[in-house]
């Protein structure tokens, strides 16, 4: 049997499909499908967030880029990019578990905040001498020694909290806190910090009902019963976190957080930078990376 050459003049070759050419319309359709896929992924599956403060030390650090799972708590308008007012409430709503690190919107400004869920609806939460009292019982709190956190362009050292500078590292005292469920995590405690004057969101001192300066001692708070649909949130850096111990004001405390403001559950650190990146110097993209934090679980 011999191979036969293809006759380009045969009827069969004339019936061959013509080569498809890329058109502007097909390219735009591809881009539209890509945008739709990204929006679906970010709205309902995972979405990236950054850590802009030290309120969650030692577990999350300023400069961490993390991913949050969107489905565990259900979906609201805040699940969508831009938070469009398409509907109210939550679809497939589920409450967080105590100990979850949750991303949510600030009740006043709508900015993204990250804190740990300590109290669920019906819980009574108080703080006494720096120890969290949950439903009348003190949470287990064990001395866990010290932790050294590298200082960098975006991470300083709070010496007023008893921290010690050792070269380029800041040494804090840490504790392991354990919830009734058995879930545990590290916290920082600066010791007794005393009452603090609260701002009113415009830089002035907030006043109470009697016109006197409003002060709150974060180490000693009165018992609060968490209402239905609300959550009591705290930062792991207990003396450097404006959370549910403080009233909700712009750029300040968050008060008791409405569950409808939840965005997602923090899942994993995707990237971490020490703040020394210069975008016009590509090599700093690598030298600024905290490689030991990339991929760490939350």
74-100 mean pLDDT? 83
Pick the residue with more confidence: 24 or 217? 217
Q: Which of 55, 76, 79, 241 is catalytic?
A: 55
State how far the Cα of 229 lies from the Cα of 25, in Å rounded to an integer: 48
Confidence of residue 204 (pLDDT cuts 50, 70, 90): low
pLDDT value of residue 205: 65
- Burial class of 63 by CB neighbour count within 10 A (0 to 12, 13 to 18, 19+): buried
Catalytic-labelled residue, pool 70, 76, 105, 115: 115
Residue 6: the pLDDT is 41
What pLDDT score does 232 carry? 98
Has residue 32 been placed in a domain?
no
Is 55 catalytic? The answer is: yes
Quote the pLDDT of residue 38: 66
Determine the pLDDT at residue 43.
62
Cβ proximity of 253 and 247 under 8 Å: yes
Residue with more model confidence, 277 or 135: 135
Name the strand (E) or helix (H) holding 43.
helix 24-44
The predicted structure's pLDDT at residue 250: 85
Average pLDDT over residues 243-247: 93
Supply the range of the domain harboring residue 283.
41-287
Residue 172 maps to a domain: yes
Q: Is residue 14 part of a domain?
A: no
Domain count of the fold of the chain: 1
Would residue 34 count as lying in a domain? no
On whether residue 184 sits in a domain, the answer given is yes
Confidence of residue 8 (pLDDT cuts 50, 70, 90): very low
- CATH code of the domain in which 233 resides: 2.10.109.10
User: In this structure, is residue 178 part of a structural domain?
Assistant: yes
Q: Which of 254, 273, 97 lies closest to 179, judged by CA?
A: 97
Q: Is residue 116 part of a domain?
A: yes
Band the pLDDT of 47: cuts 50, 70, 90: confident
210 band by pLDDT with thresholds 50, 70 and 90: low
Whether 20 sits among the annotated catalytic residues: the reply is no
Q: Judge whether residue 45 has pLDDT over 50.
A: yes
pLDDT level of residue 29 (50, 70, 90 thresholds): confident
Tell me the average pLDDT of the chain.
84
For 257, left (φ over 0), alpha (ψ -120 to 50), or beta? beta
Q: pLDDT tens across 133-185, in order?
A: 999 999 999 999 999 999 988 888 887 767 888 888 999 999 999 999 999 99
Higher-confidence residue of 181 and 19: namely: 181
Q: Name which of 124-128, 228-232, 247-251 the model is least confident about.
A: 247-251
Rg over alpha carbons for the chain, rounded to the nearest Å, is 26
pLDDT band of 1, cuts 50, 70, 90: very low
């Amino acid at each position: 049997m011999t191979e036969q050459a293809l006759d380009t003049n045969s009827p069969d070759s004339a019936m061959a499909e013509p080569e498809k050419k890329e058109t502007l319309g097909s390219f735009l359709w591809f881009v539209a499908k890509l945008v739709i896929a990204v929006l679906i992924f970010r709205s309902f599956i995972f979405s990236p967030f950054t850590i802009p403060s030290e309120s969650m030390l030692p577990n999350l650090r300023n400069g961490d880029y993390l991913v949050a799972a969107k489905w565990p708590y259900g979906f609201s308008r805040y699940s969508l990019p831009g938070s469009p007012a398409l509907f109210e409430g939550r679809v497939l709503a589920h409450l967080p578990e105590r100990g979850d690190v949750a991303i949510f919107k600030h009740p006043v400004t709508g900015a993204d905040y990250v804190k740990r869920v300590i109290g669920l609806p019906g819980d009574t939460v108080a703080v006494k001498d720096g120890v969290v009292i949950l439903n009348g019982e003190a949470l287990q709190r064990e001395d866990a020694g010290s932790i050294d956190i590298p200082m960098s362009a975006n991470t300083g050292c709070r010496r007023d909290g008893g921290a010690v500078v050792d070269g380029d590292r800041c040494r804090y005292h840490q504790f392991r806190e354990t919830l009734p469920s058995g879930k545990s995590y590290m916290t920082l405690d600066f010791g007794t910090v005393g009452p603090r004057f609260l701002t009113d969101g415009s830089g002035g001192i907030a006043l109470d009902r009697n016109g006197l300066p409003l002060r709150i001692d974060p180490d000693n708070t009165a018992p609060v019963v968490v209402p239905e649909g609300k959550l009591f949130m705290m930062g792991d850096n207990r003396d450097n976190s404006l959370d549910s111990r403080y009233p909700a004001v712009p750029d300040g405390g968050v008060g008791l957080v409405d569950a409808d403001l939840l965005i997602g559950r923090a899942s994993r650190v995707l990237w971490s930078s020490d703040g020394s990146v210069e975008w016009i110097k590509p090599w700093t993209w690598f030298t600024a990376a905290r490689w030991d934090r990339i991929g760490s679980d939350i």
